[in-house]
Chain A
Amino acid sequence: MTTYTATVTVRLKRGVLDPEAETTKRALERLGFELDALRFTERYEVDLDAADADEAEARADEMAERLLANPTIHDYEVAVVEA
């Protein structure tokens, strides 16, 4: 068994309004920054023991599918590295 860190990145699907990001963008603009757009993502780092990277990725993928992301509004991606 090897210890891996699976990074699950959850973001709103394109086109879904993100009021928190919009508010943050406006606050940056008030500080004088110029920007076209700003997006929030949520990032989860999961340490887990698995036989290989594929198994670690499959398990993290299921975590995203079943809890970390809501498929109605979110896309997600999983990346795995040895811890």
Chain B
Amino acid sequence: MIAVVQFGGSNCDRDAVRALSDLGFEAERVWHEDPLPEETTGIVLPGGFSYGDYLRGGAMAARSPIMKSVREAAAEGVPVLGVCNGAQIGCESGLTPGAFTTNASARFQCEHVYLRVENADTRWTAAYEEGEVIELPIAHGEGRFELDAERYEELEADDRILFRYCDEDGNVTDEANPNGSLGNVAGVLGDSESVAVLMPHPERASLPQLGNTDGRGVLAGFEG
């Protein structure tokens, strides 16, 4: 059972459950004050505005008690996917490197973006080809990826960058970077391949009725 952790202010939890269910997974919302169910085989940290984005996006949720259980589960190899606010929570909790902070535009960016698959050799990207361009929606005010130069080089060397913002043809350019992210980074792996975060929303691009199913491959990563 995939646990979609619902914090106060999460708002993509139902979308995640619906998209995962459509892919054939058993998925349930789990309130952050409740324990993770024993039968948890995967964890989604969904998008939204947990704790009203007070202090920094994801800062409060990252320190909530359930995150201790999430870190323990991740350490045991349970796959964890953080989306948008969940990506901020992942970074704030130390599950994944870097920080997602205020967009360079200083505006909330709500639009469709193109992403280039940088590493197709992970559970989260195995459905794609390396270099493939997919289209996903973004909706965030704090999505600019930041990391010090030394650790960014390590991240690149370790092939832990999953997606970069690009244009329709796959060119990674400043113009195609919606939020000023370092290296156009849109999604990264944690210390192990089982943990990933990304700012774009695969769960909003997974139902055929919505006209774009490019995100299904990311969610399919829970199959392992």
Whether chain B is bound by chain A comes out as: yes
Residues of A that sit less than 8 Å from B by CB: 16-20, 22-23, 66-68, 70, 72-73
Contact size range, B: 20 to 34
In the bound complex, CA of A20 to CA of B103 (Å): 9
Give 29 CB contacts A-B under 8 Å. A16-B101, A16-B146, A17-B104, A17-B144, A17-B180, A18-B102, A19-B102, A19-B103, A19-B104, A19-B105, A19-B106, A19-B180, A20-B106, A22-B106, A66-B63, A67-B59, A67-B63, A70-B59, A70-B92, A70-B99, A72-B91, A72-B97, A72-B98, A72-B99, A72-B147, A72-B148, A73-B99, A73-B101, A73-B146
Measured CB to CB, the nearest residue on chain A to B91 is A72
| Residue of B55, B91, B97, B180 contacting most chain A CB atoms (<10 Å) | B55
Chain A: minimal CB distance from B79 (Å): 24
Tally of A-B Cβ pairs under 8 angstroms: 35
Determine if B146 and A72 form an interchain contact, defined as CB atoms under 8 angstroms apart: yes
B residues less than 8 Å from A72 (CB atoms): 91, 97-99, 146-148
A residues less than 8 Å from B98 (CB atoms): 72
In the bound complex, CA of A68 to CA of B123 (Å): 34
10 interchain residue pairs of minimum CB distance: A19-B106, A72-B99, A23-B106, A73-B99, A19-B102, A73-B146, A19-B104, A70-B99, A20-B106, A73-B101
Residue B29, interface by CB 8 Å: no
Chain A: minimal CB distance from B178 (Å): 13
B residues less than 8 Å from A16 (CB atoms): 101, 146
A-B contact sample (5 more), CB < 8 A, given A22-B106, A67-B59: A70-B92, A72-B91, A72-B98, A72-B99, A73-B146
Chain A: minimal CB distance from B61 (Å): 12
Q: Mark B81-104, 1 if CB is under 8 A from A, else 0.
A: 000000000011000011101111
A residues less than 8 Å from B102 (CB atoms): 18-20
Chain B: minimal CB distance from A59 (Å): 16
Residue B56, interface by CB 8 Å: yes
A residues less than 8 Å from B105 (CB atoms): 19
A residues less than 8 Å from B97 (CB atoms): 72
A residues less than 8 Å from B106 (CB atoms): 19-20, 22-23
> In chain B, residues 98-135, which have Cβ atoms closer than 8 Å to a Cβ of chain A?
98-99, 101-106
A residues less than 8 Å from B101 (CB atoms): 16, 73
In the bound complex, CA of A16 to CA of B101 (Å): 10
In the bound complex, CA of A18 to CA of B98 (Å): 16
| Residue of B56, B104, B180 contacting most chain A CB atoms (<10 Å) | B56
B residues less than 8 Å from A18 (CB atoms): 102
In the bound complex, CA of A18 to CA of B146 (Å): 12
In the bound complex, CA of A73 to CA of B102 (Å): 11
